[in-house]
Every structure is written in structure tokens, then in C-alpha cells.
């Protein structure tokens, strides 16, 4: 059995987070298929924390919660105990971020008497994120991050901007590769009947309700539209620390039934929300790839987004008639014009096919890279 160990120090993989679990099952299935070409089997084993996954069962993915503590030291100690009992001389560790989980992986390499290969992953626009955080973060934290990822065997990035930047700085050739995040694109999915055009513009926000996703700007744009008596229905899909604050600030819009909070949705329920929307508005200012934007387009919703690495890349892929970009100082007239222009277009089948092909390429790239990394550890 060829096993990859996912270092999940933040407990992201638990059965309550069905979207993340399903995505990793697809990763694991693809890895197993790649191993099958060599007459072997593959499995991903996530070493997580906090939540119980006692009811979880998959042929391709195991989730083992080794620690309930938030302490990185305790997590590393428990992971060390677990991995030291593996009856192999070498291990392959996949770290989901360049800080917490990569540091854990490096500590395990330093303390385990085994050969260990490590992949670190960067799920953000490396340059823009650091430069937006002020001098200290942009200089010191950026430098420390480069030092950390310089010590691993392989680095996965999710956007071309970060890929080109790290290639020029680290000069590590094939050790750095591009594989964006997998979206929930189901070719068998069909929008429910009655989810077609409506009289008012149907606007949607999707994402965790915290500062990084910037839901406050979505509310600001709704206020601008409302000030011009622009007819709309809006929904916010997601949960997070800002939920109560946002509900309080928009109680009048909710009372008038022009805004609704749906809570967190995944899978088919989320796709149905996209179906019932004309425009997904993305307010994240450092979007590196845009999973939600691709999911929305795949079922026919158009995208209005801040100009980010992810949105610019998507616009180059599918065209400006489906993806429109704007800045934080957009005027009300400009906002209305962009929404009306997007609503006037229909996403064609060729665009949906293009998005689906891109997802298949992600799985192929990941499974090939992980299989190669594992073979170097054998």
C-alpha cells in the first residue's frame, strides 16, 4: 500500500466539513488510480485533530484524529508516536500550508528515524497577500515563509502568479508545480426547474464570513444598489465569526426580504444556490484561484469580482462577458452597468466544458506529483 500522510494540524478534515472531505476523497481516488498503473494501491491518511470521525469510512481516505490539543508541539508528539509505528523506512508527508503544518512536517523529519519527503502547499496569492499586510509581514514573515518552503522537497501552488514568483526566487525548477484547488463541478448535475430568469437581479455571496472574504463590501454594494431603487434579491451563503454582526447590520434588508442568510451549504445544495442566482459577487481582495467563481460559472451564474490574481486568470480563460472586474471605489452607476451587462449573457456549453477539463487536469497533475514524491521516498 502506497500511503501519503496529510499533516492536518488545523483539523480541516472532519466529517462535518463534507465539501473538504469529498474533495480529498477525489484526490485519493486519483492517487490510487496512478498507483494502479504500477500494480499497487494508494491511500491518503490524514492525521488530524479535534473532531471525531468514527463514522467515516472510505477505501481511499482515512482520517485519524491524533490530538485534541491546539498545541503544535502536542500534535507533533502524537504524530511522531503514530508514524514511528509505521512498518516502513520512508514516509511521504503532505502539508496543507507553509507555516503550521509544514513546520510540523519539518519537526517530524528532524525527530523520526526514517527518510521523509515533504510537500508544502500555498493556497493564496503569495506576493499580494504579504504586501497588503504592512512592512513587517511583507518583509519579515515573507522571508521566513520562503526559508520554510525552501526546506521541503516539493511545493504546490494554486495560481500562476505565485508559481512564477517562487520559480524566480527559489530557482528550484520542477520542485515547484501548479495545481489549483479542485472545485465542485458535477457534469451530471442539472439545475432544478424554475431556477431560470427572474424579474429582479439575483445576487449571491459565497464564502466563510470573516475578514479575508470581505462580506462587509458585499453589504456596501447592496446599499449602493438600494439607494438607486435597483431591483434585486440577494443571498449570503456561509458561516463564520462575522455572521451575527452582518445579520444585525442588515436587519432592515432581511425584513424587506431582499436579503437572506442561508448558512453554510455544500455539494448539491450549494450548486442549487448558484442555479438560482444571476451574479456571484466575490469581494475577497487576495483570491488566488476562485473555486466558488468556477462553480458558479459551471451552472450558469456570472461573476463580478474584485480584480485579483484569481479573477484575472479566470477572465482570461472564459472571457469578460462572463467575468467582470471592478475596484473598491466603483460608483453606483458602474456597479449597476456591470450587473446588467452580466445578466444579459448566458454561459455557453463550451465554457462549461473548458472548466470541467481544467478540473480533470488538476487531478492528473496532483496524482502524478504525489506518486513521484512517494517513489522518491521508497
User: CB neighbours (10 Å) of residue 168?
Assistant: 8
Whole-number pLDDT of residue 288: 83
- Residues 370 and 283: their CA atoms lie apart, in Å, by 33
* Residue 378 pLDDT greater than 60, yes or no: no
Query: Which residues does residue 259 pair with via DSSP β-bridges, in sequence order?
Result: 234
Give the span between the Cα atoms of 257 and 261, in whole angstroms: 11
Q: What b/e sequence results for 120-149 when a residue is b if at least 16 CB atoms lie within 10 Å of its CB, and e otherwise?
A: bbbbbbbbbbbeeeeeeeeeeebeebeebb
pLDDT of residue 342: 96
What is the residue extent of each domain of the chain? Answer: 2-178+358-377, 201-347
**212-241 per-position pLDDT tens digit:** 899 999 999 999 999 999 999 999 999 999
Contact yes or no for 24/46 (Cβ under 8 A): yes
Task: Say if residue 137's pLDDT is above 90.
Answer: no
Sheet harboring 90-95: ordered strands across? Answer: 61-67, 42-49, 2-7, 90-95, 115-122, 154-157, 176-178
pLDDT for 110 equals 96
* Residue 226: partners with Cβ closer than 8 Å, 6 or more residues away: 232, 253, 258
Cβ partners under 8 Å of residue 159, min gap 6? 125, 178, 180, 288, 289, 309, 310, 313
Give me the percent of the chain exceeding a pLDDT of 70: 97
End-to-end Cα spacing for the chain: 12
Task: State the cell numbers at 65.
Answer: 484524529
Averaged over 28-32, what is the pLDDT?
95
Q: Where are the beta strands (DSSP E) in the chain?
A: 2-7, 42-49, 61-67, 90-95, 115-122, 154-157, 176-178, 201-206, 232-237, 259-263, 279-282, 302-306, 323-326
> Is residue 18 pLDDT above 70, yes or no?
yes
Q: How far is the C-alpha of 225 from the C-alpha of 346, rounded, in Å?
A: 23
3-state secondary structure of 92: strand
Does residue 50 register a pLDDT over 80?
A: no
Q: In Å, how far from its chain's centre is CA 38?
A: 31
Rounded to whole angstroms, what are the CA distances from 137 to 7, 167, 217, 284, 372?
25, 21, 24, 19, 34
Q: What is the mean pLDDT of residues 156-179?
A: 92
Q: Which single residue is written with the C-alpha cell 480529498?
A: 24
C-alpha cell at 201: 437581479
Give the model's pLDDT for residue 103: 97
Please check the confidence at residue 129 and state whether its pLDDT lies above 80: no
- Give the C-alpha separation, 184 to 270, whole Å: 9
| Superfamily (CATH) of domain 2-178+358-377 | Glycogen Phosphorylase B; (3.40.50.2000)
* Domains 2-178+358-377 and 201-347 alike in fold: yes
More confident residue, 325 or 196: 325
Quick check: 375 pLDDT over 70?
yes
Instruction: Count other C-beta atoms under 10 Å from residue 172's C-beta.
Output: 15
pLDDT of residue 13: 85
The tens digit of pLDDT for each residue in 53-93 reads: 666 778 999 999 888 888 999 999 999 999 999 999 999 99
What per-residue confidence (pLDDT) applies to 161? 86
* pLDDT band at residue 52 under the 50/70/90 scheme: low
283 CB neighbour count, 10 Å cutoff: 20
Q: Which fold has domain 201-347?
A: Rossmann fold (3.40.50)
Query: Nearest to residue 157, comparing CAs of 181, 174, 187?
Result: 181
HSE of 359 in the Cβ direction (CA atoms, 13 Å)? 20
Distance CA 222, CA 253 (A): 9
- The predicted-structure confidence for 168-212, as pLDDT tens digits, reads as follows 999 999 999 999 988 888 888 888 877 777 789 999 999 989 988
Q: How many CB atoms lie within 10 A of CB 95?
A: 28
Average of per-residue pLDDT across 324-349: 94
Q: What is the mean pLDDT of the chain?
A: 91
Amino acid 266: pLDDT? 84
pLDDT one-digit tens code per residue, 239-266 = 999 999 999 999 999 999 999 999 988 8
Residue pair 154/370 in contact by the 8 Å Cβ criterion: no
Amino acid at each position: 500500500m502506497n500511503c501519503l500522510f496529510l499533516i492536518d494540524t488545523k483539523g480541516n478534515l472532519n466529517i462535518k466539513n463534507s465539501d473538504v472531505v469529498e474533495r480529498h476523497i477525489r484526490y485519493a481516488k486519483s492517487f490510487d488510480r496512478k498507483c494502479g498503473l504500477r500494480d499497487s494501491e494508494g491511500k491518503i491518511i490524514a492525521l488530524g485533530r479535534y473532531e471525531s470521525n468514527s463514522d467515516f469510512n472510505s477505501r481511499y481516505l482515512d482520517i485519524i484524529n491524533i490530538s485534541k490539543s491546539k498545541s503544535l508541539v502536542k500534535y507533533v508528539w502524537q504524530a511522531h508516536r503514530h508514524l514511528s509505528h509505521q512498518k516502513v523506512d520512508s514516509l511521504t508527508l503532505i502539508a496543507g500550508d507553509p507555516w503550521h503544518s509544514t513546520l510540523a512536517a519539518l519537526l517530524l523529519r528532524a525527530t523520526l528515524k526514517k527518510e521523509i519527503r515533504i510537500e508544502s502547499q500555498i493556497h493564496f496569492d503569495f506576493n499580494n497577500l504579504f504586501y497588503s499586510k504592512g512592512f513587517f509581514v511583507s518583509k519579515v514573515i515573507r522571508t521566513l515563509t520562503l526559508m520554510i518552503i525552501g526546506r521541503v522537497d516539493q511545493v504546490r501552488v494554486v495560481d500562476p502568479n505565485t508559481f512564477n514568483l517562487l520559480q524566480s526566487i527559489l530557482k528550484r525548477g520542477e520542485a515547484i508545480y501548479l495545481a489549483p484547488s479542485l472545485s465542485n463541478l458535477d457534469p451530471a448535475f442539472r439545475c432544478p426547474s424554475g431556477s431560470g430568469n427572474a424579474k429582479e437581479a439575483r445576487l449571491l455571496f459565497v464564502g466563510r464570513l470573516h475578514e479575508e472574504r470581505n462580506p462587509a463590501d458585499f453589504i456596501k454594494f447592496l446599499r449602493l444598489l438600494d439607494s438607486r431603487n435597483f431591483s434585486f434579491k440577494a443571498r449570503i451563503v456561509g458561516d463564520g465569526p462575522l455572521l451575527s454582526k452582518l445579520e444585525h447590520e442588515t436587519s432592515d434588508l432581511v425584513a424587506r426580504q431582499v436579503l437572506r442568510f442561508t448558512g453554510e451549504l455544500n455539494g448539491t445544495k450549494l450548486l442549487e444556490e448558484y442555479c438560482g442566482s444571476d451574479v456571484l459577487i466575490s469581494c475577497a481582495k487576495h483570491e488566488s484561484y476562485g473555486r466558488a467563481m468556477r462553480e458558479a460559472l459551471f451552472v450558469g451564474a456570472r461573476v463580478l469580482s474584485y480584480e485579483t490574481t484569481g479573477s484575472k486568470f479566470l477572465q482570461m480563460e472564459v472571457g469578460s462577458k462572463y467575468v467582470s472586474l471592478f475596484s473598491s471605489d466603483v460608483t453606483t452607476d458602474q456597479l449597476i452597468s456591470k450587473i446588467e451587462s452580466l445578466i444579459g449573457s448566458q454561459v455557453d456549453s463550451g465554457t462549461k466544458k473548458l472548466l470541467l477539463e481544467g478540473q480533470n487536469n488538476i487531478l492528473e497533475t496532483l496524482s502524478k506529483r504525489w506518486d513521484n514524491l512517494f517513489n522518491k521516498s521508497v
